[in-house]
Amino acid sequence: MDQLLEEDEGPSTSKIINLTKSLNLQDLISANGATFEVNFDDLPDEKEEFSYSTAEATEFSNPNCSGLIDEDTYTDGEPFEVLSAKMENLLEDGSIKKRILRNGYGDVIPDKATVTIHFNAYIEYNDEPFDSTYLRKKPFVFILNVGATIPGIDIATQSMKIVEKSQFLVVPRYAYGPLGCLQRVPPNSTVLFEIEVLSYVDAGAATSKLQLDQDGEQEYTKIDKYVHALCAKGNELFSKGSMKPAIKVYNQAVAALENCKLKDYDEQEKQQRLLLRLLTNLVVSYTKVQDPKRACSNCNKIYYICKGTSLKVPTKVYFNHGKCLIMFGDYEWAERKLKQAQRLEPQNIEISRELLKLDQKKKESYNREIALAKAIFKNNEINTNVEVSDEFKASMTEYCKDLIADTESVQYSLPDNLTPHEISFCRSEVAKHGLRLTCQKQNKVNVYAVVKQI
């Protein structure tokens, strides 16, 4: 998935219209050109997309556009002239003017960034917006300076910072020009835009390839911006529910950080803080996609980074580590991690719920293992180690079905002392259910578990 955000419809929207008679292609491309007339009786119904209730439109009305300001008193001169006097030139010739309503923070938005904005657009003498993302209840998402919107929006937005809200007066050549915009904007109209920056991702930095040194490393100062951009991109993907693409981006950022050159302690501290943030995001993401092995691996990295430093392990790391250990069926260690999280946030209801869920899991696991252990004991008691009893087969089948139905676990452990015939049956039975049988040595003893395919 290459697109960071799905592009929304914005101020540059156009519609197909019908002509009174068809055009001849040869006339159209000839030196003399061609004349055509629009069939105004067959124009698209503007009300379908840009019709708002009076109450909605009034909420975003701007009295400056009709000369009604300061308790509805009318001011002399053109309303946009009044606004213009309060603004500063954004372009030297004054063709785009700006007035900041709310200051933003950080740097101005870089070229080719993917930006999410809200805006109201007004024409002179009309205090209700002819276009509004607020009224559509859907922000406008676009990439700066790639022709995704009118030039005035590009230039205005690139002068802004995160969370800034500003007004812009835009002359026709940077707005809708001599043609206007169908029935909404008259020809040669100056337009007032009120723009609010919600967020942006420096896609240019995030997608640029690092020119690595011959030894494969890069100085921290050179990758800092790149890594922050990747982090922002990953967060956007995460917020959209695109977990696997987000994980890929986070891992790219982690790899860049882990392989960079650090010239002093200050850079090392910055690197470790950023690593902690990225690894925490990976823990949460891997937990959500039910990949507990990788989630636990990143938890261990976090514990190592924080050990003996001023960095603190976030509560969500302990919490998600506990959830992943529950998936593995390691209930003892899961309880330890969840209680560590609870000590940090004793009032957190989500942690309390997970501990209650853990208690229920432990009871269910105990009952399953007792049932299977009884079947194993009976099988060993009545058989000559050649056959597997029907009771054991039925218990193993239920064991597999329970794991498949359990959306919060990835494996169930099997009791000890299985015979070779029982192990052979378990292997074939779990395969029938799309599962697999694993074996690990613990204290020189083979420990078997039924595991979901991830």
User: 44 with 184, same domain?
Assistant: yes
Within a domain: residue 11? Answer: no
Q: Look up the CATH number of the domain holding residue 73.
A: 3.10.50.40
Q: By residue range, what is the domain housing residue 425?
A: 357-452
The H-assigned helical ranges of 289-387 are: 292-306, 315-328, 331-344, 349-382
pLDDT of residue 389: 78
The DSSP line for 168-215 is EEE-GGGTTGGG-BTTTB-TT--EEEEEEEEEEE-HHHHHSPP---TT
What is the model's pLDDT at position 31? 54
Q: Are residues 81 and 183 in the same domain?
A: yes
Q: Using the 3D structure, point to which of 167, 201, 235 is the last residue of a domain.
A: 201
In this structure, what CATH number is given to the domain that contains residue 363?
A: 3.30.1370.50
Contacts of 176 (CB under 8 A, 6+ apart): 150, 185, 189, 191
Predicted local distance difference test score (pLDDT) of residue 107? 83
Answer yes or no: do 176 and 229 share one domain. no
Q: Are 374 and 304 contained in the same domain?
A: no
**pLDDT attached to residue 47:** 44
Structural domain contains residue 376: yes
Coil, strand or helix at 89: strand
Residue 332 lies in a domain: no
Distance of CA 271 to the CA centre of its chain: 23
94 plus 191 within the same structural domain: yes
Angle subtended by helix axes 243-258 and 220-239, to nearest 10:
170
pLDDT attached to residue 48: 43
Per-residue pLDDT of the chain (454 residues; tens, 9 = 90+): 333 333 344 554 444 455 656 655 555 445 555 555 655 555 544 444 445 555 555 556 665 565 544 443 333 445 888 889 999 999 999 999 999 999 988 789 988 888 999 999 999 888 888 999 999 989 998 989 989 999 999 999 999 998 899 999 999 999 999 998 878 899 999 999 999 998 888 766 655 554 444 445 678 888 888 888 888 888 888 888 889 999 999 999 999 898 888 888 899 999 999 999 999 999 999 999 989 999 999 999 999 999 989 999 999 999 999 999 998 888 899 999 999 999 999 999 999 999 998 999 888 888 877 777 777 666 665 555 557 778 888 888 888 888 888 887 888 888 877 888 888 888 888 898 898 888 887 777 788 888 887 6
pLDDT of residue 24: 57
120 shares its domain with 222: no
Q: For residue 198, what are its two tokens?
A: 């919600």
* Inside any domain, residue 3: no
**Integer Cα distance of 249 and 242 in angstroms:** 11
| Number of structural domains found in the chain | 3
